[in-house]
Amino acid sequence: MSKIYIYVVRYDFGFAPNPFGGVCTFACCMPVIRRTASRGDWLIGMGGGDLKATGRCIYAMRVTGEMTFNEYWRSDQFRGKRPVRNGSPKKMVGDNVYHTDPKTGAWLQENCVHSQPSGEQDQPNTLHDTRTDRILISEEFYYFGASAPEVPPKLLEQIGYRNWRGHRVYQQEQCQKLLNWIARAAGGRTNRVLGDPFQFRMSDKRYSRTQNKLI
């Protein structure tokens, strides 16, 4: 039986996850989920107080594939997800940002949301993200972004979900009604961006793990 991972999305730029290009990728943040989720499992990102979206579903993705960071970096399919910080908002939040130096094996970080304001590598973010050398890939997802619909409280109460820190893991049979509701809320429209990310206009910002805030 597949598992369902549910957590509160603190920042929604389109960076983690990245829903663009017809494939939803989860390459940065949440290293425990990226390490433990298996193919067939679902990730559900809920809104919280930081986004003023408590109880709303921002996205849901079923894990259909996985890659290492180096595989992701070298993939022609995902070259378009490499970040371009002077590009469009969609390009600015590209999540294909890590690969290793072929000579030293050290992690390199492209200029991205998790870099320093100067564009230089941010070591705290690098260490956190690369704790799990695994990218989750979904070719079956619903991404609502700022159009996130409010989940009927009864559905969340039935599984005992609350907006706590960290993530919660459920069996699929516990969340099947919730998954069905999400599919209906999306009108069956899979693998597309149904609404811009909540913070799309802030795509030029950086996240500092040391300061635990956007800068």
Q: pLDDT digit string (tens) for 135-187?
A: 999 999 999 999 999 999 999 999 999 888 889 999 999 999 999 999 999 99
Within a domain: 13: yes
Write down the pLDDT at residue 208. 97
Within a domain: 89: yes
Within a domain: 39: yes
Beta bridge partners of 66: 136
Dihedral angle of Cα 157, 159, 165, 169, to the nearest 10 degrees:
-170
Write down the pLDDT at residue 93. 98
Q: For the segment 185-194, what is each residue's pLDDT rounded down to a tens digit?
A: 999 899 999 9
Q: For the segment 92-129, what is each residue's pLDDT rounded down to a tens digit?
A: 999 999 999 999 999 999 999 999 999 999 999 999 99
Within a domain: 183: yes
Q: For the segment 5-31, what is each residue's pLDDT rounded down to a tens digit?
A: 999 999 999 999 999 999 999 999 999
DSSP H or E segment with residue 131: none
Write down the pLDDT at residue 23. 98
Distance of alpha carbon 93 from alpha carbon 81, whole angstroms: 8
Within a domain: 207: no
- Which residues touch 99 (CB under 8 Å, ≥6 apart)? 69, 70, 73, 74, 107, 108
Whole-model pTM: value is 0.97
What band does 45 get if pLDDT is binned at 50, 70 and 90? very high
CA atoms 30, 32, 33, 35: torsion sign: positive
Domain count, the chain: 1
Is the pLDDT at 56 greater than 90, yes or no?
yes
Within a domain: 214: no
Averaged pLDDT for residues 60-86: 98
Q: Which domain holds residue 131?
A: 3-201
Report residue 80 as tokens. 């378009």
Closest CA to 114 of 195, 13, 7: 13
Within a domain: 128: yes
Within a domain: 213: no
3-state secondary structure of 126: helix
Strands (E), the chain: 3-8, 24-26, 42-46, 57-62, 65-67, 98-100, 107-109, 135-138, 141-143, 167-171, 207-208, 213-214
